[in-house]
């Protein structure tokens, strides 16, 4: 349903056929605490691509929109250039503030559509192939659902014109369930709309494995929530390998991004990469 991760990869010369392999990447929020412009040497978000690739061997980024606050067009284009040079392209721009596209007040829906348009422009400047958002629709409110569908269909033309995919992440209400989210995706319709499930996402109302199996066929990217590791090297949250296996079992072959939420990224991320890379490469 969603076209694969390709334009950004082609731009940096890392041509991979993602219909045949999984790509392990990183959310910029995972290393938020490691970015310090006052450090010696300084490390800013512009350094994230080279850091993710050089330190952890990762080959892509999901960029958190809130980390771009105050950025100019020149800043976005510098990020794209730095990412391409590092061989770690920006793949998804994700905004975790729910878009109010289902509200009864028309001006609120108009503002939400305009925000999505700005996000799409930013994603294009970064060289991303996708922009991801959360859509809050009250459960069981058919009128709100129809408003959300109408608003989303109205902005899809602008998203498609930029050759982007629009990915919907689980949020409160209807889209907290895999069935509700997939229903919204199907009712909006089109080849450039899909899902961005997070394995281990606390907002989801589903069993994590069942959610992944349900949403992976619609997914343009998958995030895996990593919480940390105990002294024995075991993940303190969900079984990471099981999440990857669930996506692979239904034929998912695209971008899997580590979404680290613990307190020690420099210590825990290498272990997360090791576990997830093994799961990516596992047979069966």
Q: What is the pLDDT of residues 131-164, one digit of tens each?
A: 999 998 999 999 999 999 999 999 999 999 999 9
Q: Strand order in 221-226's β-sheet?
A: 193-195, 165-169, 130-135, 90-99, 61-64, 23-27, 255-260, 221-226, 198-199
pLDDT band at 267 (very low <50, low <70, confident <90, very high): very high
Has residue 6 got a pLDDT over 70? no
pLDDT band at 17 (very low <50, low <70, confident <90, very high): very low
> Which residue would you say has higher pLDDT here, 231 or 4?
231
The DSSP code for 189 is -
Has residue 18 got a pLDDT over 60? no
How far is it, in rounded angstroms, from Cα 284 to Cα 274? 18
pTM for the whole structure: 0.91
How far is it, in rounded angstroms, from Cα 179 to Cα 65? 27
pLDDT band at 2 (very low <50, low <70, confident <90, very high): low
> Which residue would you say has higher pLDDT here, 39 or 105?
105
pLDDT band at 21 (very low <50, low <70, confident <90, very high): confident
| Under 8 Å between Cβ of 64 and 29 | yes
How far is it, in rounded angstroms, from Cα 185 to Cα 182? 5
Retrieve residue 248's tokens. 């692979």
Has residue 13 got a pLDDT over 60? no
Domain boundaries, the chain: 7-281
N- to C-terminal Cα separation, the chain: 24
Q: What angle do CA 164, 65, 117 make, to 5 degrees?
A: 45
Has residue 69 got a pLDDT over 60? yes
Rounded to the nearest integer, the mean pLDDT of the chain is 91
| Under 8 Å between Cβ of 254 and 22 | yes
pLDDT in tens, 212-226: 999 999 999 999 999
| Under 8 Å between Cβ of 25 and 37 | no
At 202 the pLDDT is: 87
| Under 8 Å between Cβ of 199 and 216 | no
Q: What percent of the chain has pLDDT over 90?
A: 85
pLDDT in tens, 48-60: 999 999 999 999 9
Has residue 97 got a pLDDT over 90? yes
Superfamily of domain 7-281: Divalent-metal-dependent TIM barrel enzymes (3.20.20.150)
User: Mean pLDDT, to the nearest integer, of 65-74?
Assistant: 97
């Amino acid at each position: 349903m969603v076209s694969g991760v390709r334009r950004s990869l082609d731009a940096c010369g890392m041509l991979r056929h993602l219909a045949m392999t999984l790509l392990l990447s990183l959310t910029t929020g995972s290393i938020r605490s490691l970015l310090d412009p006052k450090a010696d040497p300084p490390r800013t978000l512009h350094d994230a691509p080279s850091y993710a690739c050089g330190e952890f061997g990762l080959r892509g980024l999901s960029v958190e929109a809130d980390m771009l606050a105050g950025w100019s067009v020149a800043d976005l284009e510098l990020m794209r250039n730095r990412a391409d040079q590092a061989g770690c392209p920006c793949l998804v721009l994700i905004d975790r503030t729910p878009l109010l596209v289902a509200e009864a007040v028309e001006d609120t829906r108009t503002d939400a559509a305009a925000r999505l348009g700005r996000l799409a422009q930013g994603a294009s400047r970064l060289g991303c192939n996708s922009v991801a958002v959360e859509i809050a629709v009250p459960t069981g409110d058919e009128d709100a659902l129809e408003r959300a569908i109408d608003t989303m269909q109205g902005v899809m033309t602008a998203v498609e014109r930029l050759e982007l995919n629009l990915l919907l992440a689980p949020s409160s209400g209807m889209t907290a369930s895999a069935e509700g989210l997939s229903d919204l995706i199907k009712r909006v319709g089109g080849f450039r709309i899909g899902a961005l499930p997070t394995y281990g996402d606390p907002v989801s109302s589903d069993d994590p494995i069942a959610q992944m199996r349900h949403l992976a066929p619609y997914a343009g990217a998958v995030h895996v929530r990593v919480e940390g590791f105990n002294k024995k090297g075991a993940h303190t949250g969900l079984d990471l390998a099981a999440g990857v296996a669930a996506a692979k079992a239904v034929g998912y072959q695209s971008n899997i991004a580590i979404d680290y939420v613990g307190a020690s990224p420099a210590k825990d991320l290498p272990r997360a990469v090791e576990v997830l890379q093994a799961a990516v490469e596992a047979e069966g």
